[in-house]
Amino acid sequence: MGSSEPLKVTFSSPAKYWTDAIPIGNGRLGAMVWGGVAAETIQLNEDTLWTGAPGNYTDPDAPKALAQVRNLVHEAQFVQATQASAGLFGGPTQVYQPLGDIKLQFDGSHLNDGAYSRELDLDTATARVQYTVGGVEFSREHFASNPDQIIATNISASSPGSVSFTVSLDCALPDHRIHINNDHKNQIVLIGSCSGQQPGSTGIQFAAVLELEISAGNGVVSRLDDDDNGLRVEGADWAVLLLSASSSFQGPFTNPANSTRNPTSLALLALQEVAKLSYSDLWSRHVDDYQSLFHRVSLQLWTSAAAEADDRAVAVRTAAERIRSFQEDQDPAFVELLFQFGRYLLISSSRPGTQVSNLQGIWNPDVKPAWDCAPHLNINLEMNYWPSLPCNLRECEEPLFDHIQALSISGSQTAKVNYEASGWVVHHVSDLWAKSSAYERDARWAIWPMGGAWLCTHLWEYYTYTMDKDFLQKTAYPLLKGCASFLVDWLIKGPQGYLETNPSTSPEHLFVAPDGKQASVSYSSTMDMAIIKEIFSALVSAAEVLNMTEDPFVQNVGEIQSKLSPTKTAKDGSIMEWALDFEDPEVQHRHLSHLFGLFPGHTITIEKNPDLCKAAEKTLYKRGENGPGWSTTWKIACWARLRNSEQAYKMVKHLIQPVDPDKTTIDFEGGLYSNLFTAHPPFQIDANFGFTAAVAEMLVQSTMLDLYLLPALPREKWPNGSVKGLKVRGGLTVDVSWREGDLHEVGVWQENDGQEINLVKKMLHYRGRTTEATISSRTVYTFDVGFKLVEEI
C-alpha cells in the first residue's frame, strides 16, 4: 500500500519567511527555494564557508586552575568551584557563513493569475514551483546533485517563447565581487572571502559560478545594461541554470593563507565536467544517486484495514495545514512524511567527503546565525546522526567519523596541556577547525570534557549495526582507545572510594548548593559516569572482537569499570542528576542528561535493571512535556526505550504544532515551521533527525542478541502499517507489518556481501513471546505473529 498522501511537502504560495522556503542539498551545497512569482530567491550555502582559521586550543595555565577547582569541589564549596572554573574556559567557536543568493527577476506584468503550487518531492529530492500568468503555465524545477556537485534549476513554460527574466548573484558577506566571465559570456562569477582569525588576516576564499543555458532557436541572452553582474533572457522556451561552488578550505589544520586550492578554477571545472550532459541527464543521475539511499526504508501507517484498499484521491493539503490540523486529525500519513523528511535532510546535508551536518544542517541565511551554527556536542551533533544506522543511511555518518578523527588530533593537545592527560578530549562545542577546548562565559556548558566521549559511542554503534571489522580495527578502535586513555587519566578517587570526575557538570543545568546558592560544578554527574561506562564497555567489547584483550590498557579499563560510581535514585524516586541529591531549581529543564544511560546509552534497560527504569520513568514525568524540539524527540526515544507507547506518542503529538515564524528570539517551546524544519526556536535541525530516529525506536529495538518488535507501537493511533528496511544490531535488516494493532509478519535478513555464509543467532521478542532464529547471510526469513517460519527465500 502507498501512503495515504504522497511524500511531498506542499505549499500554496511563495515563501514569506526563510522557514517557508524549500531546502535542497547534496551534502556540500545547499539551497533554499522561496518560489516567488515576479521575483525569486534561491539562497545558497557551501559547507566549508566558516570564519576563522586553525586555532590554538591549549592553555598552559589550565592545570593550576584545575587543581584549584578540584580542591574547592573536594571541600564541597560548589559555588566557589563554579566561579573558579572560569580559569578553564576557552574561546568562542567560529561562525558558519552563507554563500549568497541567486536572484531571478521577471517583468512587472509577470503576476500569478491562476493556480499556484510549490512542493518538495521527497521521492526524487526535487523542488517544483508551478503557476499561471496570462493563461501560460510556468514551471521551475530545482535539485542539488551529489554525483555532479551542482545545483540545477530548469525554468519552462507551456507556450513557446514565454520565458523571459533577469538573473544575478548576490552575497551578504562584505568581502566579495561579482562579474561576468569574459571567457564564457553566459557565466556569472561570485568571488569572496570569509573573515579571518584576526582583522586583516586571510580567511577562507570561495567562488560560485552560475551558468545559463537557454533553448536553441528561441530566445536571446544579453548582459544587463546597468550592471555587469547579471544576465537577461528574452523569449526563450526554457532556461537552465547550473550553480557550482568551491572554497579554499584544505582541512582543519591548514591555514587559509597557506591553501593551494583555487576556488574559481574548481567551480569552473565542475561545470566543465557536466558540459555534455543535458538537464534530463543531470536529473536522472541525481535521482538514481539519491534513491539508492532514500528507497532503502519505507514507512506506511494507516488507521483502518479498509484504508489500505482505499484508492480515492486525497485532496492535497499544504504542510502548514497538516501541522495545524494534527492535534485534531492526528494524521498518521503526516508522521510518515515527517519521518522520511528527516532521512531526506540527512542525505541532503551529510555525504561522504562533506563536513558534518551542523546545527542547521547546511542551510543558513545569516552572517551571524543563532549559536554560530556550530556543532554542539552535548546533544545536538549526536542527535543529527541518530537515524543514520537504524534508518539505513550508514554512508551519511562518514563525515562524523572524519570530524571525530580531526577532533582527536586537536584534542590530544588540549588533553596534554590543559589537563596533563594522555589521549584526547573535546568539550561541548566545535567548528570547522576542530575546536577541542572549552567554550567561554559560563561553566554550565563550558566545563564539560565529555563531548569527544559521547561522539565515540557512535563508533562502536557503527560496528554493531554493520559488523564492519575493518572499520572497527582501523578507525573505531584507535579513536576509542585514545578517548578512553583520557578518561582513565581524568578519573580521580572520590570521597566514597569510587573513581570520580571532578570537575563535573550536568550540561547547561544548575543545582542548589548546600548554602542555598545556585552552582553548576560538582563531581561525577550521572551523565559523565554513564558516558564513561559506555566508552569503557565499548573498548573492552571491541578488544574482544579484535583479539586484543591481553593489552594491559584494556585489562586496566576492565578493572576500572567496577570502580565507577553507580547510577543512583533520588529521594523522590527519580534518577539523580548529580552525585549528591541536590535541589533542582529548574525541574523541567530541557536537557535529559541523566537519562543518557536509557537513551542513547545502554546501561539502563528493562531487562537488566527494571528499578532504574521505574526511576527513569519518574524522571521523564518530572521533566514534563515542554522543551525545544530536540528535547521533545529525545523524550520520545526515552519513552520508547521504556516501551511506553502512550507517552511516546504523546510527545510525537507535542512536537507537531505550528511555530510562529515571526518569533526570532530564543525560546524553548519546540514545534514545526511550515517547511517542516523543527524549532528550538529558532530553527535547529537536530529534532528533525531525532524524530526520525525516535519513530524507528518505537517500531524496532535491538541489541547484539535481541530483536524487539513493535516495542512502543501506539496501537490505537497507528493500528495498521508496515516498515521496511530498518537496520538492527548484528548486521541485520528488518521488515515489519502489523494489522489492527498486532504483529502480522516480520522479515529478517543479512545483506549478502558476496563473502562466505555467516550465521547470526537472534532472539525475537514480541509482547512476551520469544523465539531464537538463526539468520543466514543469503536467506530472507519471514515469521508470522507466533514466530512460525512462513517463508524462507
d(CA 580, CA 471): 40
Q: Is 666 exposed, middle or buried (0-12, 13-18, 19+ CB in 10 A)?
A: exposed
d(CA 167, CA 170): 10
Q: In what order do the strands lie in the sheet containing 789-792?
A: 298-302, 720-728, 732-739, 742-750, 780-784, 789-792
- β-bridge pairing 238-247 and 176-180: unpaired
Three-class DSSP category at 421: coil
Looking at residue 307, its pLDDT comes to: 52
Q: Is 365 exposed, middle or buried (0-12, 13-18, 19+ CB in 10 A)?
A: middle
Q: Is 476 exposed, middle or buried (0-12, 13-18, 19+ CB in 10 A)?
A: buried
Looking at residue 611, its pLDDT comes to: 97
d(CA 539, CA 616): 26
d(CA 45, CA 537): 40
Reading phi first (left if > 0) and then psi (alpha if -120 to 50, else beta), residue 394 is in: alpha
Q: To the nearest 10°, the Cα dihedral for 660, 663, 664, 666?
A: -100
pLDDT per residue over 400-459, tens digit each?
999 999 999 999 999 999 999 999 999 999 999 999 999 998 999 999 999 999 999 999
CA distances from 52 to 88, 259, 346, 365 (A): 22, 14, 26, 18
At 299, which amino acid appears?
L
- Strand (E) positions, 607-705? 700-702
Q: Which three cell numbers stand for residue 689?
A: 533527525
DSSP 8-state assignment for residue 473: I
Looking at residue 182, its pLDDT comes to: 87
Three-class DSSP category at 120: strand
Residues 6+ apart with CB under 8 A from 208: 44, 46, 99, 100, 169, 189, 190, 243, 244, 245, 267
160: preceding bond cis by omega (within 30 degrees): no
d(CA 699, CA 722): 9
* Selection from 507, 533, 545, 713 nearest residue 608 by Cα: 533
Low-confidence ranges of the chain (pLDDT < 70): 1-4, 226-228, 305-315, 752-757
Count the helix, strand and coil residues of the chain and give each as a percent rounded to the nearest 5: 30, 25, 45
Looking at residue 753, its pLDDT comes to: 61
Looking at residue 492, its pLDDT comes to: 97
User: Are the C-beta atoms of residues 385 and 349 closer than 8 Å to each other?
Assistant: no
User: How many other C-beta atoms are found inside a 10 Å radius of the C-beta of residue 60?
Assistant: 8
Q: Which three cell numbers stand for residue 593?
A: 542528561
Q: Is the pTM of this model over 0.75?
A: yes
d(CA 24, CA 574): 43
